[in-house]
Structure 1
């Protein structure tokens, strides 16, 4: 899920998701109860459109609500109450729901959908961000810019494999939150994604000597000791070095 708004810390309000269950975004005059209620319905195998029907029917404030839901399979669903501030609306398709309110116009969600459909070759975080950036470039929130968030879940994808939260990045207050989010994704890719096995460089001969000399010059006893301080431990591999780790090592300077 990706979201941006002229609203402080939008990532603390809008997104909710559980691996293997589904995802939900509550927007406009956000009803935060929708998050747990919607996920509970999704756990029973309820289709996305039926989840929204149940949430909306039970909510006396539904005229001012907006909500999007995606289940593990099937089309996404979106609801926009008739009293949401213009422009408000959304589009849906197989596996996605895109909606917004107080937007500059329908071109925002149209451009988001175009970017989403065109981005199937990208990683999920980059594809989500591409859609968000396309909407932002098309006009985005008519009030301006303040915050953005990117959230995704996948079984065992959390840090160290202990949780399902794959990515949870937030820009809570920034004049260019969508642009800043791209920078945070780059850092997340560096620190928390696994190295490509086909690019690993064997730690032998001249390269092994170089790595040893560099970590020693930085004041460490091993590559692992240095990598742990630099938060690169997720990219370590026995007997080889990730080119991205090597790049960071070569750029590192001894502390004065």
Structure 2
């Protein structure tokens, strides 16, 4: 009752998984990944050991296919398992046991493997695969586009409940302390993929960097909007203030909203921060 896609980006070295299921908290079971090693999605009657054991095998130098072959050869419950893997060289493989519930299957291609079980139809997996192959952008964006396309093509026969995306990258975590680049989950929601995309966009707003074309000078209409909305939100007592008062209030807003990564020099503002301020 799950569909997923694992992927690799050769330009950035990122590895990751996106998954949706009629199952609460799917992000706590299906996705496993380690930077420089590989990514694993273990599902159907999931064997959680496929995650750490698969990563260990790939870290030893086994390809994704070799790792899957070893895991299922030792697993008496393999006929009810489903797993997708991609290694750090971009080799991908997928396996579906013969007793997984209909429709169940997978497709592996260049740098990805898509799979699902208890699906409305096989078009769910085909849509994920084709979307990943044709899409552009970051690995996270491509995985989310693929997951969304899979749902649009049919999705889980039992419906929707939870979704997750997990991306690893060397020193990609907070303060470069680990490899957990993106780790977002929607544990229970009527439309979990759309909610996951919304949360991902927020994540990018908070942790993304300012684009050169989005640097705005604080004057004219930009200044008017900043004053107006900082006043509306209680950061300013008046809607018309001097430069120092405005800078102090804007700095306070940026820090309270955790936009330190987008904080610019005095007299400048990131357009995305301004848009957030206006729409808050």
TM-score by length of structure 2 reads 0.82
Aligned partners of 1:133 and 1:178 also within 8 Å: yes
1:6-17, aligned counterparts within 5 Å?
6-17=22-33
- Secondary structure at 1:136's aligned position in 2? helix
- Residue 246 of structure 1 aligns with which residue? 274
In angstroms, what is the RMSD of aligned CA positions? 2.1
Aligned partners of 1:190 and 1:244 also within 8 Å: yes
* 1:54 equivalent in alignment to 2:70: yes
- Residue 98 of structure 1 aligns with which residue? 114
Tell me the alpha carbon deviations over residues 108-157 of structure 1, each in whole angstroms, 9 at most, x when there is no partner. 101111111111x2222221111111110111111111111111111222
1:16-27, aligned counterparts within 5 Å?
16-27=32-43
- Residue 144 of structure 1 aligns with which residue? 159
Q: Give the deviation of 1:104 after TM superposition.
A: 1.2
Whole-angstrom CA distance in 1 between matches of 2:175 and 2:146: 29
Whole-angstrom CA distance in 1 between matches of 2:187 and 2:209: 27
Whole-angstrom CA distance in 1 between matches of 2:115 and 2:63: 18
Whole-angstrom CA distance in 2 between matches of 1:13 and 1:94: 25
Which shifted more, 144-153 or 222-231?
Answer: 222-231
Whole-angstrom CA distance in 2 between matches of 1:37 and 1:110: 28
1:85 corresponds to which of 101, 104, 109: 101
- Secondary structure at 1:2's aligned position in 2? strand
Whole-angstrom CA distance in 2 between matches of 1:251 and 1:86: 45
Which shifted more, 192-201 or 85-94?
Answer: 192-201
The number of residue pairs the alignment matches comes to 250
Whole-angstrom CA distance in 2 between matches of 1:251 and 1:178: 23
* 1:190 equivalent in alignment to 2:205: yes
Q: Give the deviation of 1:82 after TM superposition.
A: 0.9
Higher relative contact order by CA 8 Å / sep ≥ 6: 1 or 2?
2
Q: Give the deviation of 1:171 after TM superposition.
A: 1.1
* 1:36 equivalent in alignment to 2:36: no
- Residue 183 of structure 2 aligns with which residue? 168
Whole-angstrom CA distance in 2 between matches of 1:182 and 1:85: 28
Whole-angstrom CA distance in 1 between matches of 2:225 and 2:260: 15
Q: Give the deviation of 1:214 after TM superposition.
A: 6.2
Aligned partners of 1:214 and 1:249 also within 8 Å: no
Whole-angstrom CA distance in 2 between matches of 1:45 and 1:231: 41
- Residue 177 of structure 1 aligns with which residue? 192
- Secondary structure at 1:180's aligned position in 2? helix
Whole-angstrom CA distance in 2 between matches of 1:46 and 1:5: 29
TM-score by length of structure 1 reads 0.89
Tell me the alpha carbon deviations over residues 172-198 of structure 1, each in whole angstroms, 9 at most, x when there is no partner. 111111121221122112112111134
User: Which consecutive residues of structure 2, in runs of 5 or more, have no partner in the other structure?
Assistant: 1-16, 237-247
Q: Give the deviation of 1:210 after TM superposition.
A: 5.7
- Residue 112 of structure 1 aligns with which residue? 128
User: Which consecutive residues of structure 1, in runs of 5 or more, have no partner in the other structure?
Assistant: none
Could you list the structure 1 runs, at least 4 aligned residues long, displaced by more than 6 angstroms after superposition.
Answer: none
Q: Give the deviation of 1:241 after TM superposition.
A: 2.1
Q: Give the deviation of 1:215 after TM superposition.
A: 8.7
